[in-house]
Amino acid sequence: MAIHKGMMAKAEEFVRREHKMLIDGHWVTAASSDRIDVVNPANGKVFTSLSSGDKGDVDRAVDAATKALKSDKWGKITPIERSKLLWKVADIIDKNADELAEIESLDNGKPYKFARMNDVSAVAESFRYYAGWCTKICGKTMKLSRPGPHHAYTIAEPVGVVGLIIPWNFPLMMAGWKFAPALAAGCTCIMKPSEETSLSVLRLAELMIEAGLPKGVINIVTGYGATVGKAMTEHKGIKKIAFTGSTRVGKEIVNSALGNLKKVSLELGGKSPVIIMPDAKMETAVPGAAMGIFFNSGQVCAAGSRLYVHKKVYEQVVEGICKMATQLKVGPGYKEDTILGPLVSATQHKRVSDYVRSGIAEGAVIATGGGHIGDEGYFYQPTVITNINENMKIVKEEIFGPVLAVNIFDDIDEALRMANDSDYGLTAKVWTDNLSTAHYLVNNLDVGSVSVNGGGPPDNNMPFGGYKQSGWGQELGEEGLRLFLNQKSVEMTL
């Protein structure tokens, strides 16, 4: 019996097999033999299971990664050889893109067409981008201030064995954001995907091995954060943790990493503001603001979940977004007309529902949406909430669902004050046709990234990261590579 009508045979064959962990080039079961059920978020039914790893499995993975770090087949190869391997990974991803997108859609719930067009393509391009950096990792020579003949320079070296912990909202894309720069730097890796969405990452690992990565260079340990994640952050053999996920868990990781003061980079939560000025082009601002929160069912760290609209266009904007929200097709990811898939799990569905109820209890008004859809699965209506104040939980806390809180402002400084009144500082969006207004907002918004009049998903060449409790460090670009490098200073007296 097919998992869903029309599912390609290759993807279904992978999904139905017994899923193991990758350690030292071998697919192995967890030492405990425990399993984790995998649920289809479109119908709430279990369709396969994962190995549930623990500390012993992490120990095995660290041993393998440590051995591979200095091996002839990885640690001693030339930068151009490393570059060619990453390029081969990108090519094999492209070759298997349809299958990867289908697995991602089934496991996460997102529409297949978006997984294929955005997520899988982004993974391949991350590997190609960082393949180019392999031959450009270098130090500097410099003159010293004190007298005497000296030769002084720096060397960039791989951090070593790194632990990569990724979330469930963009499993493939986040795997690419972590694997590609870490491997380009010459590190070896242990990745823990989310227990909610591990399947596409396991298939990606198979393809990376097929592309020629030596054994032990990448390892995948599936399991829960409280066991596998904690073991990774506490392990003395892991020299760095790169984490994407919630701010709460990010703080726990920092505490766990104190044992050997390992390096930590964190891409955390967001409560991103969107500001629509009265001179904005409404034909682009309204759909832009709508899809800025509803895309991927709002399960995006950079989602524009707080909307601030000038009083002159407030009613027009709210009416336009509400109309669009009611027209978006919500359904299983495999259906061609689906725009929004389900939320990832029953837990996430309850979380979103609870936040909306809390807003109502505090006096907010549901302009549209605000409820469950259908008889099965974790579907939630695109929701717009008005009559808010800045102290409400729905304004202060990250919901991670298709829920937009809308407020009104009189002048630009009031909009800035509300936009910056947040513990988070990941991204912001501005809609205006006035260049001076745009620059004023860009220069005064307390966030790591700002897009004006549109923008798209993060680009490999642009650093991505947040201020305040949205994280430490920036991914992508050269900055993303430097996260996985140590710098050594050398001075020779001649």
What CATH number is attached to the domain comprising 168?
3.40.605.10
Would residue 482 count as lying in a domain? yes
The residues near 16 (Cβ < 8 Å, ≥ 6 apart) are: 3, 48
| Shared-domain flag, residues 306 and 406 | yes
C-alpha to C-alpha distance for 475 and 122, rounded to whole angstroms: 14
Report pTM.
0.96
- 467-468 and 424-425 beta bridge pairing: antiparallel
Q: What one-character-per-residue DSSP string does 341-379 give?
A: ---S-HHHHHHHHHHHHHHHHTT-EEEE--SEESSSS-E
Would residue 301 count as lying in a domain? yes
Catalytic residue among 301, 322, 398, 475: 301
pLDDT at 456: 84
C-alpha to C-alpha distance for 260 and 350, rounded to whole angstroms: 37
| Shared-domain flag, residues 278 and 412 | yes
Would residue 464 count as lying in a domain? no
Residuewise pLDDT in 10s, the chain (494 residues): 456 666 788 888 999 999 999 999 999 999 998 999 999 999 999 999 999 999 999 999 999 999 999 999 999 999 999 999 999 999 999 999 999 999 999 999 999 999 999 999 999 999 999 999 999 999 999 999 989 899 999 999 999 999 999 999 999 999 999 999 999 999 999 999 999 999 999 999 999 999 999 999 999 999 999 999 999 999 999 999 999 999 999 999 999 998 889 999 999 999 999 999 999 999 999 999 999 999 999 999 999 999 999 999 999 999 999 999 999 999 999 999 999 999 999 999 999 999 999 999 999 999 999 999 999 999 999 999 999 999 999 999 999 999 999 999 999 999 999 999 999 999 999 999 999 999 999 999 999 999 999 988 899 999 999 999 999 999 999 999 999 999 999 999 99
C-alpha to C-alpha distance for 364 and 63, rounded to whole angstroms: 54
Q: What one-character-per-residue DSSP string does 83-136 give?
A: HHHHHHHHHHHHHTHHHHHHHHHHHH---HHHIIIIIIHHHHHHHHHHHHHGGG
| Shared-domain flag, residues 416 and 282 | yes
Burial (CB count within 10 angstroms: exposed 0-12, middle 13-18, buried 19+), residue 103? buried
DSSP state of 225: I
| Cβ(459)–Cβ(259) below 8 Å | no
- Cα angle for residues 244, 390, 471 (degrees, 5° grid): 20
Would residue 223 count as lying in a domain? yes
Burial (CB count within 10 angstroms: exposed 0-12, middle 13-18, buried 19+), residue 91? middle
| Cβ(88)–Cβ(211) below 8 Å | yes
| Shared-domain flag, residues 264 and 277 | no
pLDDT at 5: 65
pLDDT at 1: 41
Task: Report the candidate in 262, 287, 28 with the shortest Cα–Cα distance to residue 161.
Answer: 262
| Shared-domain flag, residues 305 and 258 | no
SS3 230: helix
Whole domain around residue 446: which residue ranges? 273-459
Q: 373: left (phi > 0), else alpha (psi -120 to 50), else beta?
A: beta
| Cβ(272)–Cβ(447) below 8 Å | yes
| Cβ(89)–Cβ(211) below 8 Å | yes
Q: Tell me the β-bridge partners of 264.
A: 241
Catalytic residue among 267, 322, 398, 475: 267
| Shared-domain flag, residues 115 and 80 | yes
CATH number at residue 300: 3.40.309.10
C-alpha to C-alpha distance for 300 and 399, rounded to whole angstroms: 10
C-alpha to C-alpha distance for 421 and 426, rounded to whole angstroms: 13
Q: Identify whether 414 is a catalytic site residue.
A: no
* Helix orientation angle between 171-184 and 79-95, rounded to the nearest 10 degrees: 160
C-alpha to C-alpha distance for 207 and 89, rounded to whole angstroms: 7
| Shared-domain flag, residues 400 and 333 | yes
The residues near 142 (Cβ < 8 Å, ≥ 6 apart) are: 152, 153, 154
| Shared-domain flag, residues 277 and 251 | no
Dihedral sign from CA coordinates of 195, 200, 203, 208: negative
| Shared-domain flag, residues 296 and 374 | yes
| Cβ(305)–Cβ(293) below 8 Å | yes
Would residue 465 count as lying in a domain? no
Would residue 222 count as lying in a domain? yes
Six-digit token string for 143: 């003159």
| Cβ(248)–Cβ(469) below 8 Å | no
Q: Tell me the β-bridge partners of 471.
A: 267
Domain count, the chain: 2
| Shared-domain flag, residues 408 and 360 | yes
| Shared-domain flag, residues 215 and 307 | no
Residues in the chain: 494
| Shared-domain flag, residues 249 and 277 | no
Would residue 4 count as lying in a domain? no
Q: Identify whether 267 is a catalytic site residue.
A: yes
| Cβ(220)–Cβ(201) below 8 Å | yes
C-alpha to C-alpha distance for 273 and 229, rounded to whole angstroms: 31
Would residue 2 count as lying in a domain? no
- Say how many CA atoms lie within 13 Å of 154 toward its Cβ: 13
